[in-house]
Structure 1
Amino acid sequence: MKYINNRALVVLLSLFSLQSMAVEYQPELATAVFPKAQLQPLIERTYGEMSRRYTIFAEQFNYCQQKPKSEDCQKPYEEVKQRYTAAKALYDTVEMTLLPQFIFLESPKSSWQSLNIALVNLHYLDAALPVEQLTEAQLLPAVNQWLIAHELPTTDTLYLLQTLLIESDNLQQQ
C-alpha cells in the first residue's frame, strides 16, 4: 500500500514538473530511441491496465452505492480506488511524455527508487539496490535488459518515458 502511494506521488510529481523541463524535439532521435512500432503496444498495454483497474473500481463503486455499510466498502474499496488512481496517473504521464517537448526528459533521481523496485519485481535485478547508493549507471544494465526484451534500442541515458513504461509493466504484473 505504501509503495503504491509512493509510486503515485512520483508519477504525479513527474507530471507536474514536466512543463518546466521541456527539451528540444529531435524527430530523428525520437524515432531511433523510441520506435513507434515497438512503443505503441507498450502504450496500449498501459492504457489497458488503467482501463482494467477502472472497471474493477467502477464495479466496487457501484456495489458500495447499493450497500455502503458492507465491509467491502471500507479498506477494500480504498485499495481498489488507489490502484486505479495510480494506473491513471501513470497512463496520463506516459501520454504527456510522448509529446515532442517531453519525450527526451531524463528520469529524475526521485523516480529511481520505484524503478529499482520495479526492476526487481520484473526480475531484471536480483535485489533492490540501497537507496543511498542508487546511480543511473547501476540501473542502466537492467533497464537495457528490459528494453531488449521489449525490442527497444538500448540506451546510455535513462529517459523518463522508459522509467514509466517499466513502471507500467510492473503494475501489469501485480
Structure 2
Amino acid sequence: MFTLFFLLFYALPLAAADVDVLFPEKQVNSMIDLAFETKSVRYTSFATQFNFCQQKPTHPDCTDSYENKQRKYKSAKANHDVLKQVYHRHMTSLLMPEVAYPELVSSLQLLAYLEAGPDADILFDDTLNAVNEWLVMHDFPKTDDVYFLHSLMIEAEAMHQNLRDEEA
C-alpha cells in the first residue's frame, strides 16, 4: 500500500511537468488571446445586427443573416470559454474526445494542414502528422497523442482564419 501511495505521489507532479512541457504558457496564452479576439469581433457583428433587427424586425437581414451571426458568435464564445477552462492544470491532460475528431479534421483542412475535398481519404496518422505540423509552426513540441487542448487551439485558429476570409 505504501509503495502504491509513494508511486502515485511522485507520478502526479511528473505528469503535471510533462503537461507544462506540452503546453508552454506563452504559446497557449497567445491562442487564448486569438480566440478572445475572434469572439470580440463576432460579438460586435452580432450585437450590431441584433440592434438593427430590434428596430426593423421585418427587414430581410433579420432572418438568415441574423441567425448566422448569432451562431458564429456563440461558437467563438464557446471555443474561447472552453479553451480557458481546459487550460487549468486539472484539465490539460485530457485527451481529445473522439466526438471532436471531425471538427479537428475540418479545422486542419481549413488551415491547409490536411487535404480537403470529397476525395480526401484521411487516416488518423495523417491527422496526427497534421497536428504535429501545426504544433511545430506554433512553437509547441510534437506529440504522440492529440489532447483536447490541441484540438481547441487548432479550432481557435480555424475560426480566426474564417473571420479573416470573410473580411477579405
- Shift, 1:47, TM fit: 0.8
* Amino acid in structure 2 at the alignment position of 1:165: M
1:111-164 CA distances to partner (integer Å, 9 max, x unpaired)? Answer: 11111111111010123655xx743x3311000000111111111110000001
| One-letter code aligned to 1:168 | A
Could you tell me the TM-score, scaled by structure 1's length?
Answer: 0.80
User: 2: CA distance between counterparts of 1:30 and 1:155?
Assistant: 11
In the aligned structure 2, how far is the partner of 1:93 from the partner of 1:45? 14
Q: Larger deviation: 27-36 or 70-79?
A: 27-36
The residue that corresponds to 1:119 in the other structure is 108
The reply on whether 1:167 has 2:152 as its aligned counterpart is no
Provide the residue aligned with 2:79 in structure 1.
90
How large is the Cα RMSD of the aligned pairs? Answer: 1.6
For residues 1-174 of structure 1, the aligned pairs below 5 Å read 26-127=15-116, 129-130=120-121, 134-135=123-124, 137-174=125-162
Amino acid at match of 2:82: T
In the alignment, the residues of structure 1 paired with residue 145 and residue 161 of structure 2 have an alpha-carbon distance, to the nearest angstrom, of 25
Specify every segment of 5 or more residues in structure 1 that has no aligned partner in the other structure, as ranges: 1-23
Q: What amino acid sits opposite 1:148 in the alignment? A: V
Instruction: Calculate the TM-score normalised by the size of structure 2.
Output: 0.83
Uncovered stretches (5+) of structure 2, i.e. residues with no partner? 1-11, 163-168
CA distance in 2, matches of 1:145, 1:163: 13
Instruction: Report the identity percentage.
Output: 35
Runs (4 or more) in structure 1 with deviation over 6 Å come to: none
Aligned length, in residue pairs: 148
State which structure, 1 or 2, has the greater radius of gyration over its C-alpha atoms.
Answer: 2
